[in-house]
Structure 1
Amino acid sequence: MDDKEGGTSESGPSHHWGDLTHECLVNILSRVSLEDRWRGAMVVCKPWLHACKEPCLNSVFDLETRFDSSTELPRYWTPEFERKIDAMLLSVVAWSDGSLTEIRVRHCSNRSLSLVSERCPNLQVLSIKSSPHVTDEVVAKIASGCPNLRELDISYCYEISHESMALIGRHCPKLQVFRRNLMNWLDPSQHHGIVPGEYLDACPQDGDADATAIGKFMPHLLHLELRFSKLTAKGLVLISEGCSDLEYLDLSGCANVTSRDIANASSSLKNLKTIKRPNFYIPRSVFHVERYGHWRLYDERFQTDAFRI
């Protein structure tokens, strides 16, 4: 018989994908990328949508690969985009049923992270870069609700202060990776037309307060990034004294510390394998000769030898 008459073919009986057992669907979807599940599988039929909501398929939510690592787009900074990210994160948190261990997103807000703090006790990795509306209020909830954090990235989140860092350090003793990078305030032109001007102007000023919280409350850090932080030699010493296990330290763009400051502070970091110094990413064009006198002084100071969502 042909397919029209008997529903068979040379290869055997035909089957409808929607007739697969739930267990079989989950097994198949576990081999499909996050993007393909959201863009394709979820809209096939109700059984597929139901399978996509299984907790075992929602233990990791990683959107970071969908953002261009080198640039941001103006639409990312709009309320509409933020609501979209929040809606996706809220859905995943609900579907995960407490199994969520890794979240990597951008441009989320307190709305979605509040639910994370309540329903993700096993969370180990939280990366929320470029989230202008995430505040100390919700980070305090994260600190108490997600004590198993081992990696946290709050880069470009300017409404998060050193007070939240202290709480994270107190309540999350397993923290080993911490990123608190700021935008390039030495040459902000690269952000103009993309990041709202008022947000650029809100760049945190007290890098030593951040350093105090890190040095005092995050003693087990192995990896620390503080690009374009405004910390001084005092703050750097506090970090080196309090985080003696550091293996990786990124101080790119930290214009307020000298090569001598770094040498003095890092001498006590016996496990340090990699250190990125302030001259990284600092364009000479942003420094004025009249301010530093001549390039020799500059060299002494900065050691310049060298999915669509």
Structure 2
Amino acid sequence: MSSWSSADSAVSSSKEQSENDERQTRNWLDLPRDVTAAILLKLGAVEIITSAQSVCTSWRSISKDPTMWRAIDMRNLGDLHDMPYDLEIMCRHAVDRSCGQLVDINVEHFGTDDLLKYITDSTSHLRRLRLAWCYGISDEGLCEVAGKLPLLEELDISIGNINDDGIEVIGLNCPNLKSFKFNTQVFTWPYIESDDEALAIARTMPELRHLQLVGNKLTNTGLCAILDSCSHLESLDLRHCSNINLEGPLGKRCTEQIKDLRRPNDPTNDYFDASMRDSGSFDEDYPMGISDTDFLSDDDYEDDFYAFSDGSDFSDNIG
């Protein structure tokens, strides 16, 4: 009896293990579509296009859903020459996939006037636009598209070529703007004072709730203009604004009027961390449980990858 019991136990254990393995194998493919979409969205646009969409036909189908591209985050560390693909070509492809539903996009380090025009020609629903470190975007380019951004609520044009002209046009055309970042590279500006940008903000952005001006050349005059005009401000970042003196009545006013105030001498550690954050990477090993029979062919992957390679042309045939 004991030998039969042992055999039965072994068979039962083997069967349970087989069933567990089978469940584990099909779990990823059996996930509801919305759950899989939520997982893919954690990866970011570059990882979806270069890696995740090539895992299986199911993931590829989900990756083509326009709702997956309402937000396109292509942030990077600026090492564009080391990339095996062209971010601008890839970004245009991602914008096309949104089918006019795009509301949020980040093209830091590689945005250009032409790309910005392509984006704003493709959607009238943008609410968040991040153009930090985009030296390829000019005042003229920003002014050209400002009229196509009536719903814009958040804008980051830190560290680039934009000046008070671009700021003013944006303010006049984007009445819903609530958050504005216009930081410069952090260093001291000896004997250089300018309130042009601060006054442009004060004149045209009365609905601001959040304003970041790290390293700006504004003086107390420009700051007072902002405080007078932007009465809804909740947070104000003045770190490394070396021409600002918050001693006396102005400092008291800032403390009373602004809930979250960053003073000129406050540490900038988190500012540098935020500027240099990585977008993450896709795990080289595919998740457990995806069947080999559901993988795309090498040709499917190579067609997409070639379309975004440096020096190649964007292809209308890319699916």
CA–CA distance in structure 1, aligned partners of residues 64 and 213 of structure 2: 37
Unaligned runs of 5+ in 2: 1-17, 270-279, 283-319
Q: Distance in 2 between matches of 1:83 and 1:132?
A: 20
Which of 142, 145, 157 matches 2:145?
A: 142
Q: Paired residue for 2:36?
A: 28
Aligned equivalent of 1:175: 177
Equivalenced residue count is 245
After superposition, residues 252-291 of structure 1 pair within 5 angstroms as 252-260=239-247, 263-264=249-250, 267=253, 271-281=257-267
Find 1:87's aligned residue among 68, 86, 89: 89
Distance 1:308 1:114 in 2: 29
Residue 248 (structure 1) aligns with: 235
Alignment root-mean-square deviation, CA: 3.3
Pair 1:103-2:111 in alignment: no
1:71-122 Cα shifts (integer Å, max 9, x gaps): x5xxx25567597332232112111011111112311222321111111210
8 A Cα contact 1:245 1:269, kept in partner: no
Larger Rg belongs to: 2
Would the alpha carbon gap of residues 52 and 229 (structure 1) be closer, same or farther in structure 2, given more than 3 Å must change? same
The aligned counterpart of 2:200 is 213
SS in 2 for 1:245: coil
State the TM-score, normalized to the length of structure 2. 0.66
Are residues 98 and 282 of structure 1, via their aligned partners in 2, closer, same or farther at CA, if it must alter by over 3 Å?
closer
TM-score (norm 1): 0.68
The more displaced of 249-258 and 231-240 is: 231-240
State the identity %: 28
Listed as ranges, the matches of 1:161-240 within 5 Å are 161-186=163-188, 207-240=194-227
CA apart distance, 1:212: 1.0
- SS of structure 1 residue aligned to 2:86: helix
Q: Which structure would you say has the larger RCO, counting Cα contacts within 8 Å and 6 or more residues apart?
A: 2
Tell me which residue corresponds to 1:154: 157
Q: Which residue of 2 aligns with 1:192?
A: none
Equivalent residue for 1:49, pick from 60, 69, 79: 60
Between 215-224 and 40-49, report the one with greater CA deviation: 40-49
Residue 303 of structure 1 corresponds to: none
1:270–1:282 Cα change, 3 Å:
closer
Say if 1:51 and 1:172 are closer, same or farther in 2 by CA, change over 3 A: same
CA displacement at 1:144 relative to structure 2: 1.0
Q: CA-to-partner distance for each residue in 1:236-287, whole Å, 9 max, x for gaps?
A: 12111111111111000000111237x427627864201111112489xxxx
Unmatched segments (≥5 aa) in structure 1: 1-8, 188-204, 284-306
* Aligned mates of 2:214, 2:81 — CA distance in 1: 27
C-alpha distance in 2, partners of 1:265/1:241? 14
| Aligned equivalent of 1:127 | 130
What is the rounded CA distance, in whole Å, between the counterparts of 1:82 and 1:108 in structure 2? Answer: 15
Q: Write the letter of the residue equivalent to 1:84.
A: D
Give the 3-state SS of the residue equivalent to 2:107 in structure 1: strand
What amino acid is the match of 2:151? N
Equivalent-residue separation in structure 2 for 1:282 and 1:122 (angstroms) = 33
Kept in 1: contact 2:133–2:158 (CA 8 A): yes
